[in-house]
Amino acid sequence: MTPETIYGATGIALFAIGLYHALVLPSALRRIVALNVASVGAGFVMVIAAWRPGGGADPVPHALVITGIVVLVAATAVALALVRALHDADTTETDDTP
């Protein structure tokens, strides 16, 4: 067993946990958190791909994960803004067409 197998399995497991909950959880806010968990799982796979036993990791996957984190926080911010706006719309409007 190596750190690679341990964290590789962790990454895939996190992705699966996030994916499943993003599909079934009954609240939009929760699904957003689940997508963030899944994305961390994908990040683990890339960090594993960069890792070398003797040190001296590959910088390219590191750059990709940083980009991925920034892209995801941007999307998360938009999704959360929609959650807030829906809350405001539902509290001000009596009903709307489904």
Partner 1 sequence: MIPQIDLAAIDWMLVPVLAPLLGAIAGFVLPRAATAAGMAGLGLSAVGSAAITAQVRTGAAPSTAIGGWEPPLGIVLAADGLTAAFLLLTVVLTLAIGTTRALTPAPARGAAIFWPLMLLLVAGLNGAFLSTDIFNIYVTLEVAALAAVGLAVLTGSAAALRAALNYLLAGMLGGVLILLGIGLLFHAHGRLDLAGLAAVAGSAPSDGIALIAIIAGLALKAALFPLHAWLPAAHSNAQAPVSALLSALVLKAPLYVALRLWVGVLDPATASGTVLGVMGAGAILWGSVQALRAERLKLLVAYSTVAQVGLISLAFGLSAANPAAIAWTGAVTLMLAHGLAKAAMFMAAGRIVEEVGHDRIAELDRSPRRPTLAQFSFALAAISLIGLPPTLGFAGKWQLMEGAVRADAWIWLAMAMAGTLLSVGYLSRVLVGFLRFDRVRGAVGEHQGWTLADGPPLLLAVTAFGAGLFATHIIALLAAGAPLGQLPGAMQ
Partner 2 sequence: MSPPDPYLLLDLGLAATILVLALAALRQRDSFTMAVVFILFGLLVALAWVRLDAPDVALAEAAIGAGVTGALLLRTLRHVGGERRDPAPVPRVVAGMLGLSVAGFATLGGLALMATPRHGTGLIPAVAARMDQSGVEHPVTAVLLNFRAYDTLLEVVVVLAAVMAVWAIDRTIDRAAAPLPYLPGVALRGPIAGAYLRLVLPALALIGAYLVWIGAYSPGGAFQGGAVLAAAGVLSALARGGRWPRTAATMPLLRGSLVLGVVVFTGVGIWAAVAGGGVLHYPPAQAKPLILLIEASVALSIAATLTALFLGHMPQPAARIALRKGTTNDT
Enter the tokens of residue 60: 């390219």
Cα-to-chain-centroid distance, residue 30: 12
Residues 32 to 91 in contact with partner 2, rule: CB under 8 A: 33-34, 36-37, 40, 43-45, 47-52, 55-67, 69-78, 80-85, 87-91
Q: Where are the beta strands (DSSP E) in the chain?
A: none
Residues 3 to 62 in contact with partner 1, rule: CB under 8 A: 11, 15, 18-19, 22, 28, 31-32, 35, 38-39, 41-43, 45-46, 48-49, 58, 60-61
Q: How many CA atoms lie within 13 A of 42 on its CB side?
A: 15
- What is d(CA 42, CA 81) in angstroms, rounded to the nearest whole number? 25
- What is d(CA 11, CA 19) in angstroms, rounded to the nearest whole number? 12
What is the contact surface with partner 1 in residues (CB under 8 A)? Answer: 11, 15, 18-19, 22, 28, 31-32, 35, 38-39, 41-43, 45-46, 48-49, 58, 60-61, 64, 67-68, 71-72, 74-76, 78-79, 82-83, 85-86, 89-90, 93, 96-98
